[in-house]
Every structure is written in structure tokens, then in C-alpha cells.
Structure 1
Amino acid sequence: MSSSPHFSTHAPIFQGRKVPEEGVIVGYAAIIQKLGLKVPMPSQIALVCQQNKKYQSEDWNVLPKSYLPDDNGNLTEIEALYKHLVFSLKYEGINLLFFSFLAKHYYEEQLSILVSIEPTGQYSRRIWFLLEWIMQKPLAGKEDLTKKSYVPLLDENLQYAIEGIRSSRHLIINNLPGTPDFCPLIFKTEKLENYISSKLSERENEYLKGIRKDILQRAAAFLLLKDSKASFTIEGESPRSKRAARWGQTIGQAGYSDLSKEEFIRLQQIVIENPRFIDIGFRKKGGFVGEHDRTTGEPIPDHFSARWQDIEKLINGLLETNRLLLSTNMDAVLIAASIAFGFVFIHPLQDGNGRIHRYLIHHILAKKQFSQQGIIFPISASILDHITDYRKVLEAYSHPLLDFIEWKETPDHNVEVINETLDYYRYYNATKQAEFLFDCVNDTIENVIPKEVVYLRKFDAYKRFLEDEYEMPDKMIATLVRFLEQNEGQLSQRARKKEFNQLKDEEIHRIEKKFNEIFK
């Protein structure tokens, strides 16, 4: 029998990445490569090095040689596979997309053999549960367990989980934060743990308690409009004030209604002012985000929307998972990242997906009472300020999938996806999206909201000066402040001669001086 390993891979370059240490690629990455599974590589590849080193980088999870899973020619392929899966569950967490493709790669008889290697062992039971949960049917010949204690499915030291429910068949506590039809997973990172422990919601509410009610109400109104305009700007649109105000009003009602398929359509109807060229409702054809070749019109996709035939199943799964997560004590921002980014990745509508995706962030934060002072988080305003990072987290999901999606051009220069892609949209790693969303929430608390409150306090101080000294009416004050802001604290000659021709030169000089004292 050959002594060469079934899965472990030794190479200086692996999948275009320079291997940081002399060692062996193991776990998910090794299995994906050897079996040719059509799934992206893990963001961190497991490497067992020949030295006694243990560290993590953005691309690598380096472990000492004592961690090397048994993988030699004396084992069958299924036995070696089991060793690598145990390693992965211990040190790489659960990768649902990987397990969904693994379940399709092997015959059911082989999968039954796999989970019978150590039939009552905790890792064998986890693998068994995952396969049956994903396949939505029991493996033939596997009897229910009776004599072992329950073990949690997700390792909460590695990934975020919910309290979970017990599966008496496997003696597993299913603490997955989702359902078989939609279940993004988020890894615990130092950044996420720091954000969660800092209790952003409590900090924000404590800050807002110290603000006068009238200023808070005005800030809330302005931030709603600001967020609405930002959401359109992100999509490359410049809406009329009435349209932006209408969407801002909708954002202000986030959290009042439960999510449903009908609610998504209602939101789309509000977003799309003129449906003349848009089919309202869930797509009945393919979709992509990207460009068209200027000469041929051929699509140049940057992101593939889910197949329209899968939309109903995916949206039902997303809604079911949303209901599940809202009933748990899972952090509100983590839930918002999973649901909102999941929606935009599915891209179920012909138009309006991006704005509704950002509305979902508002909705979930409101449902979880993240902010209790009537302030809707201006999340789109923060996203717009960090638009490059926003694009990066969207691409972190979509770009690795481009190589696995088969498609053809349609006569109207759209795309038709011709392979099965359902699992790409229901099982994904939402860690980067969660980190980005926390960054934006923190930015609104640290910068966006305080900046608006400070501005309103300065405006009120300047307004009192103008009322006391010149008895200037509100409308004229608003015009004056706008002109001074636009012209670096000075009134233009045109404004002096037109709107403010009743003011003397010395009065204008004093007004300009006071403006610069207060606002600069």
C-alpha cells in the first residue's frame, strides 16, 4: 500500500498564496483541493509546520507539528477524510458550504461509513448531524444514539452561536444561528469581541440622555434625511428632495412591521418612484452586478445574483432565520450583518436591493432596541464615508465565487446561471461583513451623531445672537448660515446686494466675525 497521504499537501505555493512556513496544508483547504470541491478556500488556510510554531495571520492558521492529522496510505480515503474533518472542527470551526458540497461528492453509503468510524465520538456526531441537517434526510442505516451526553455543535470559542435546541437522534445541541435554508456563520475575532464587550448600545443611549430633547428631535430628523440621501448616493443616484424625504420617513418606521415577502415588495415600491422600466417584485430572470462591454454589450459580472428559481427558497430561509435570531440574545449587529448582507448577496429584486439591504440594518437594530432614544442609526451616511471598505466587504463574498458560477449571455445581454448555486447564498462566512458593520455603528456613535448635535448647538447659539442683535427671522437666519457655510464664513457681494441689502457693512462684518467664532 502507498504511504503517500490522501489529503495533506506539501507545497511552497498553495492556491496562489506563498506558504509562510515549511509544512503541510491540512483540513478544509487540503480536502477542497484534493476532491476538487467547487467552493472557495477558507479565508484562513490551516498549515501544520515542522517547527513548534503557533500563530494566525489574515491568510494562515499555523499550528505545530503535533497537530498534524493522521493521513497515510494505510488508511482508506474515508478514514483519512475523517481525521481531517476532526482537525477542521477542532481548529477551523464549521464550514457549512464545505459540508454541503462534501455531501454531494460522496455516495450516501460512504457518508454512513464516515460517521460510523467513531459512532459515539463527539466529532463523529457533529459530522453526522451536519450532513443530515444539510441533506434534510437521515443517513441510511444510522440508528438514534441513547447513551451519551449532549455536546454543542458550534464551538463558541471559535464562532458565534445561539442557545440551541437538542437533537435527541445525534445527542447534539444544534446552536447554529440559522436554518438549513439560510445560515451565515461569523467567527469570533478580537475586533468583534472588543466591540461587543464595549456595549455600544449602552454607550450611545447614555450619550443621548444628556442632550436636550428639542436638539435630539431635530438631530433625528436631519440624520434620517442625511441617511436617506446617502443610501441613494451609494447607488449613484441623486434623488429629488421629496423622494429622499419619503425614503427617510420609511427608514424612520424601521422595526415597526415584521419582515415578510410582502414587506420587501412594499419597500421596493417606495424606493422605485417610477416603475415604468422595472418589474416590481421578485425577479423572474437572472441578474448580476457589474458592467457591459461597450462594444458588444456582453456582461462583465462583478457579482452574480442568486438564480431566480432559488429566490423563494432563499427568501423563505432568510425570513425564518431572521425570526429565529430576533428571538435569541445574539448581538444585534451580528444579526443585522447576517440578514442584511445575505439579502443583498441574494439580490432578489430587479432594482432597489441595496437600499432595502441598508434598511434591513435599521430594521434589525430597531427590533433589538439597539437605540432607545428615537434615533435611527445613520448607517448609510457612515457607509458612504467608508465606501471603499464597503465595496471590499461586498467583494470579499462575491469575487471568490466568480470562478464557480457557470453562465451564458442572454439575448438581452443579461446572464443566465446554468449550474446549481443555491448553497453559495445560504451558507457563507459573514465575519468581514460583521466587522465592517460594527465599524460603521461605532462611527455613528463616535462621530456622525455627535457631529450633528454639536452643529445644532452652535447653530442655536448663532441664532440667539442674530435674534437678540438684529431681530432676524428664522427663514433669513437659515439662508444666512447656508451662505456663510458655502463661502467660508463670508457673505458674497451678490448676497450683500440682494438677500441682505438691509444690513450695513459694519453689521455684516460683525455677523461674519461671530459666525467664525462659533462655527470654527
Structure 2
Amino acid sequence: MSSVGYNHLIEQLQLSAVPLKCPAVVRPVTRIERIGNLLAVPQNLVPDVGDSLGHMLFALKHEGINLAVLAQALPMIPSEELETAYQASPNGIYIRKACYLWEEFTGRQLGQHAPVRAGYAPLYEPEKYVTMTGKRSSKWRIEFNGLGDLTYCATVERTKELSALLDHDILSRAKEFIESLPPTVMDRAINWAYLHETKDSFAIEREAPTEDKSRRFIQLLRQAHDRHSLTEDYLVQLQNAVVSNPLDRAGAFRHEQNYLSDGAQGAAGVTYLPPPPDLCRELMDSLMQFANEAPNRIDPLVAAGVISFGFVFNHPFMDGNGRLSRFLIHQALCRAGALDNGLLLPVSVAMKRQERQYLEALQTFSRHAREFWEVRWIDYGQYDFTFNGVDAIYRYWDATPSVIFTLKMAQLALEEELQKETAFLASYDTVYRRVDERFDVRGSDLASLVMMCLSNDGKVSINRRKQYKYAVPDHVFDYIEEVAKEVLEQQQGVGPQASVSSSQADK
């Protein structure tokens, strides 16, 4: 199959690029159409093999914007070719995009025989991508509307899955839900969210936090509501707060090459290498600028996904990157004013339950980036790293899978984790109150028994009955079970939201 567009440019110009999701190829079709994971192109619409500009204009028209490819391919196009093509079609959208990007990537100017007479055209088509208003080029009448700038820009495609998640309006639902709760239930649900977000964020890193670590991380999560701008100094402070070993605490972004390993020996065990230190520092400057602006200009959850995954892919510290990347989700949502009353969506709880999906989302980028590195094992913990790719691989990346995953986890955090815990608290309150009104049982004993009974499908286990037999009569155990089963059946019949309302009525 002959390659077309971006696929052709990558092959013919020997560019460094991650595999295309939908490469264009020549197929026996009568019109351009998507067939599976291929863009089928009829032979009569294919530019000549040596016509790189023709393939580039084809790609811009039919495949969208791929800055990682364009940043490498455009500087290889002679200025005369672009000037001639522009003269033939001075108001053409795609030649104007090519000329605009050529100047941006090369730092040189193209001759323009006559000014553009057409209106401004967006670089990214808003109906196909999530976009953000940006700088305008009056010369080419092109508006850069990507998620970032030409030093660092993520791409988020408006796929059917992404559009459906955005239509669900998760943040508005979260706000409505938390505001529907009575204050005491709200406070306890939020406290639960902070505690379990902390526990599971550490658990994702295969670490059990001490009481001191938990306390410091909860304090960190609460800082998200302060809406600090991201700076290197602030991120260093956050890194120092989540890392307990003083020797692992950073004073600045890293000055050495970091890597991730799956524990296997030798070079094969190295699973990901973030950008080299100098490039990492440059990309972090751009990412921090994006993080300080984007949550108020695009959907906050989209911004949060780009920021969180972008941070972990840059890996600016030698330790603590994973926990900080998940904190940045909360920071972005708070910066946008999307979470009031101290609310926190326990996304790490959802991620811990969906660890395989989390790994897959990370690997959509990390697996391909690893292929551009040569790793030579020297000794245990010692390697020699050589980057054989180009900066564009890390500068321009497809954040669509990362954002979709972030949206899914936010939805799960609300509709399963937070609502489930809130329903549990409402059930606990109902059972505790009814038993306490009828029997005189020590408060701490009753609290433990009610909690254990509800957690055990309405049954007080034989071991618990033995444990409390000298403090609680048998008929009290029976009554706890009776009320708990009644409440649980009611909850299963009407769902978590209605259970909370029922609890409010009881109060």
C-alpha cells in the first residue's frame, strides 16, 4: 500500500514520529474514506511521490494538525516552493497554514506577493479538536488556537467518546450533588474523600503512607483550593511535601536524566525515559504557563488531564512525580473555581480501581517515546542513555487518551466512589440513631458495630458477636442486623442519591 500525507512524509523524509492513529494509504476506493484504522485514498487524489509540499497540504486538509510531523517536515520544504504555491492560491487555508508554521519553525520570513484577503482561519478546526484562543498572525490570517503554544502543545480530538463525556457535565453534577447534602454529611463525605484520595494516591505508587505522610498529603490537597499559580519554586515546595526522605527532596527541576523501570534487569527493564533535563526544564516553563491559564479558558477537566499527564511525562523531579501529577488534577479544577466548599473528587480512588486503564493511558505516549532512546546497561542502577529522536516528540503530543481517562475517573469518583460513601454515611446515621434511641449501648461500641454490620451486607459476624458479648446483649446484635438490612434493601431499591434524601427525611 502506498503511503499518503503524514504517513508519506514520515517514510520519505525519515522523520521521528509516534505511529499515526489513522495513516493515509492508497486503496481501490472512489473517494477518501476512513476504513477501520486507515484513511483510504483513491490513486487519482495522491500527490506525486517527490511532492512533499503536496503531501503536506493533503495532510493539513484531510488529516488535521500533527505538529510533531510538521515541525520536522516543513523546514525541509524550500521557501520558493511555498511562495509559488501561495501565489497560485493566495487565500487558500491550507497553504496559509503551511506558510505560517514554516515561518514559526524556521524563524525566517517568506515572500508574499500580495496580502491575504480572506478572513482569519483557525489552525485547529474547533469542530474536530478542543481549542483555546491564541495569537493571530496578521500576515497569514491564521489564528493559533492549540492547547499551549508552539513551544509545547497537546492535541485533544473531539472523538465521540470525549464528546459524550463532556456532555455529561461531570463538574456541575458534582457541585449539585454536594450542595444537596446536609452539612454534617457533606463535611464527613469530603473528609472521607481527602483521606482516601491520599491513601490511594500512595497505593498507586505501591506505598503505604505513614500517619505523618498522610497528614502532609491531605494538607497538600487542601492547598489546591488556594489557587496558587504554578511556578518552579511552588512545585518544588509541593515535591518536598510529598517526599519523606530528605535525600530525595528537590531544590529545583532535575538536572539529570530520570527513567522508569519495571524492575527487570538490564536495559529491557527501562520502560520510559522523560525528556532530557534541559528540554524538560523548557517544557515545564510552557506547561506551567498553560496550567495557569487553561483551566479558566477551556473545560477544566480537559485542562486537568493535559496538565496532569503532561507533568508526569515530563517527570521534572527524580521522585514524587506521580503523586504530584494527580494533585495537579485537583489544582486545575480548583483554579477554575469548579470545586467549592472544599470539595474534592477522589480521582485517585477511581484510578486505583482502574489501574490497568491508568497504565494503558500512560503507555499511549510512554511506550512510543521509549523507542527513541538507546539504553546501555552499565551496572545495577547505572545506565548510559542516548536520545535518538527529536524534541518535537515531547513538545507535541496527543493528549486525547489521557483526557478521556481523566474524565472517566472524575465520573467514577463522583458517581461511584463519592456517592457510594455518602450513601453509606446516610445509612450509618439512620441505623445508629434508631438503635441508640432504643438501647443504651456505649457510643464507640455501637459506632463500630454499625459500621462493620453495614460493611458486611447487614450481618454482624460471629467473631464480632464474641468480641462484644460482654458489652452488648444478643438482642441488640439482632436489632442492629434488622435495621441494617432494612436500610440496605431500601438503598438498593432507590439508589445512592435517594438514600441520602431518605436519610435527610429521617433527621
Give the AA of the match of 1:47.
V
Q: CA 1:138/1:234 → structure 2, altered by over 3 Å: closer, same or farther?
A: same
Give, in whole Å, the separation in 2 of the partners of 1:364 and 1:277: 26
Which residue of 2 is the match for residue 512 of structure 1?
481
Q: Are 1:408 and 1:418, in contact at CA under 8 Å, matched by a contact in 2? A: no
Instruction: Show the 5 A alignment for 1:39-54.
Output: 39-52=17-30
Which residue of 2 is the match for residue 460 of structure 1?
429
Give the AA of the match of 1:117.
A
Instruction: Show the 5 A alignment for 1:19-30.
Output: 24-30=2-8
Q: Residue by residue, what CA displacement relative to the aligned partner does 1:150-196 show, whole Å, maximum 9, x if unpaired?
A: 22211122222122332112221121221222111111111112222
Give the AA of the match of 2:6.
Y
Q: Residue by residue, what CA displacement relative to the aligned partner does 1:222-251 show, whole Å, maximum 9, x if unpaired?
A: 011111111111111111234223212311
Give the AA of the match of 1:153.
L
Give secondary structure in 1 for the equivalent of 2:81.
helix
Instruction: Show the 5 A alignment for 1:92-103.
Output: 92-103=63-74
Instruction: Show the 5 A alignment for 1:32-181.
Output: 32-52=10-30, 55-56=33-34, 59-63=37-41, 68-71=45-48, 77=50, 80-103=51-74, 106=76, 110-119=78-87, 120=90, 121-135=92-106, 137-139=107-109, 141=111, 145=115, 147-181=117-151
Which residue of 2 is the match for residue 289 of structure 1?
260
Which residue of 1 is the match for residue 193 of structure 2?
223
Which residue of 1 is the match for residue 230 of structure 2?
259
Which residue of 1 is the match for residue 159 of structure 2?
189
**What is the aligned length?**
484
Point out the more displaced range, 464-473 or 310-319: 464-473
Give, in whole Å, the separation in 1 of the partners of 2:230 and 2:249: 22
Q: CA 1:331/1:463 → structure 2, altered by over 3 Å: closer, same or farther?
A: same
Q: Residue by residue, what CA displacement relative to the aligned partner does 1:104-162 show, whole Å, maximum 9, x if unpaired?
A: 5x27xx14533542242321110121233234x12365689454432221112222212
Q: Residue by residue, what CA displacement relative to the aligned partner does 1:229-285 show, whole Å, maximum 9, x if unpaired?
A: 111111111112342232123112214211111111111111111223565542221
Report whether the alignment pairs 1:469 with 2:438.
yes
- What's the CA shift for 1:54? 5.9
Instruction: Show the 5 A alignment for 1:286-435.
Output: 286-294=257-265, 297-298=266-267, 300-328=269-297, 330-409=298-377, 412-419=381-388, 421-435=390-404
Point out the more displaced range, 38-47 or 391-400: 38-47
Give the AA of the match of 1:406.
E
Give, in whole Å, the separation in 1 of the partners of 2:438 and 2:241: 45
Q: Are 1:458 and 1:518, in contact at CA under 8 Å, matched by a contact in 2? A: yes
Give, in whole Å, the separation in 2 of the partners of 1:370 and 1:115: 47
- What's the CA shift for 1:48? 4.4
Give, in whole Å, the separation in 1 of the partners of 2:251 and 2:443: 43
Give, in whole Å, the separation in 1 of the partners of 2:129 and 2:455: 49
- What's the CA shift for 1:220? 0.6
Give secondary structure in 2 for the equivalent of 1:306.
coil
- Report the TM-score, using the length of structure 2 for normalisation: 0.88
Give secondary structure in 1 for the equivalent of 2:176.
helix
Q: Are 1:467 and 1:473, in contact at CA under 8 Å, matched by a contact in 2? A: no
Greater share of helix: 2
Determine which of 447, 452, 463 is the counterpart of 1:478.
447
Q: Are 1:292 and 1:298, in contact at CA under 8 Å, matched by a contact in 2? A: no
Report whether the alignment pairs 1:238 with 2:208.
yes
Q: CA 1:177/1:495 → structure 2, altered by over 3 Å: closer, same or farther?
A: closer
Give, in whole Å, the separation in 1 of the partners of 2:111 and 2:180: 65
List alignment gaps of at least 5 residues for structure 1.
Answer: 1-9, 11-23
Q: CA 1:162/1:492 → structure 2, altered by over 3 Å: closer, same or farther?
A: closer
Q: Are 1:307 and 1:417, in contact at CA under 8 Å, matched by a contact in 2? A: no
Give, in whole Å, the separation in 2 of the partners of 1:64 and 1:501: 84
Q: CA 1:458/1:248 → structure 2, altered by over 3 Å: closer, same or farther?
A: same
- What's the CA shift for 1:369? 2.3
Q: Residue by residue, what CA displacement relative to the aligned partner does 1:72-123 show, whole Å, maximum 9, x if unpaired?
A: 6xxxx3xx2222112211121100111122245x27xx14533542242321
Give the AA of the match of 1:361.
I
Q: CA 1:51/1:386 → structure 2, altered by over 3 Å: closer, same or farther?
A: same
Give the AA of the match of 1:459.
Y
Give the AA of the match of 2:245.
N
Q: CA 1:443/1:53 → structure 2, altered by over 3 Å: closer, same or farther?
A: farther
- What's the CA shift for 1:374? 3.2
Identity %: 25
Which residue of 1 is the match for residue 503 of structure 2?
none
Q: Residue by residue, what CA displacement relative to the aligned partner does 1:298-351 show, whole Å, maximum 9, x if unpaired?
A: 5622111111122221111111222342352x1112111111111100111111
Give the AA of the match of 1:167.
S
Q: CA 1:268/1:143 → structure 2, altered by over 3 Å: closer, same or farther?
A: farther
Q: CA 1:308/1:165 → structure 2, altered by over 3 Å: closer, same or farther?
A: closer
- Report the TM-score, using the length of structure 1 for normalisation: 0.86
Determine which of 437, 442, 450 is the counterpart of 2:411.
442
Give, in whole Å, the separation in 2 of the partners of 1:465 and 1:226: 28
Give the AA of the match of 1:399.
R
Q: CA 1:100/1:500 → structure 2, altered by over 3 Å: closer, same or farther?
A: farther
Give, in whole Å, the separation in 2 of the partners of 1:40 and 1:361: 26
Point out the more displaced range, 51-60 or 237-246: 51-60
Give, in whole Å, the separation in 2 of the partners of 1:430 and 1:111: 32
Q: CA 1:319/1:58 → structure 2, altered by over 3 Å: closer, same or farther?
A: farther
- What's the CA shift for 1:500? 4.6
Point out the more displaced range, 410-419 or 346-355: 410-419
Q: CA 1:385/1:140 → structure 2, altered by over 3 Å: closer, same or farther?
A: same
Q: CA 1:456/1:487 → structure 2, altered by over 3 Å: closer, same or farther?
A: closer
Q: Are 1:333 and 1:438, in contact at CA under 8 Å, matched by a contact in 2? A: yes
Q: Are 2:453 and 2:459, in contact at CA under 8 Å, matched by a contact in 1? A: yes
RMSD over aligned CA atoms reads 2.6
- What's the CA shift for 1:437? 1.2
Q: Residue by residue, what CA displacement relative to the aligned partner does 1:361-397 show, whole Å, maximum 9, x if unpaired?
A: 1111111222335321111111112111110011011
Q: Are 1:178 and 1:324, in contact at CA under 8 Å, matched by a contact in 2? A: no
